[in-house]
Chain A
């Protein structure tokens, strides 16, 4: 399976703290994406990082990519209760039009 693996499976932090989630994958990729899913809703795209990029920022989000280790991390700074959700990484393989999703990290931000 090309599915990514997120770590940890669940994370609970206080509001204002930073949250870091990690993703490992198995094959060469074109890009890696992070999605958020609120309970009972569809996934929402957060950020995309291409295979030739090492770091990318979007608002309070910071994503890193290490293709030599086949891993990525998502950092959410100054977390808010509204950040409570599940976060998924997804990889697009070389020559593929499809995404392979990990199993997700469940983030709980305590007010």
Chain B
């Protein structure tokens, strides 16, 4: 999976609790993304990052925050989880890398985190 890991892979939590999902890359790609995947909706972008400490909102950002303190890690936080946030969460990365190779347009995906909010 192109040097991308997500943790945890599965999590069950209760409504109102905070949850943090971690995405870690070893590819030194500039861009990192968080998506959620739900039946009938495909993948929807939550937040993305275009550099360390540089983030922006996606299509479905309400109820989520992100942080990127170093190139390799991108954290997604649900401050107070709700049942509507039960989903499969995917992290993705894209270039360019520090070496300047332009894999700009293609995204590489992590294995996903299945989150259940009871």
Residues of A within 8 A of B (CB): 1, 3, 30-31, 33, 40-45, 48, 88, 90, 92, 97-104
Contact = CB atoms under 8 A, between A and B. Distances in A.
Q: Which DSSP category, helix, strand, loop or mixed, fits chain B's interface?
A: strand
Interface residues of B, number: 26
A43 B42 contact: no
B111 A41 contact: yes
A44 B45 CA distance: 17
Contacts, number: 55
B50 interface: yes
B58 A44 contact: no
Contact of A43 (B31, B43, B45, B48): B43
A100 B42 CA distance: 9
Given A42-B90, A103-B42, 20 more contacts: A30-B105, A33-B106, A33-B107, A41-B112, A42-B92, A42-B109, A42-B112, A43-B43, A45-B106, A48-B105, A88-B42, A90-B107, A97-B48, A97-B50, A97-B94, A98-B45, A99-B45, A100-B45, A103-B40, A103-B41
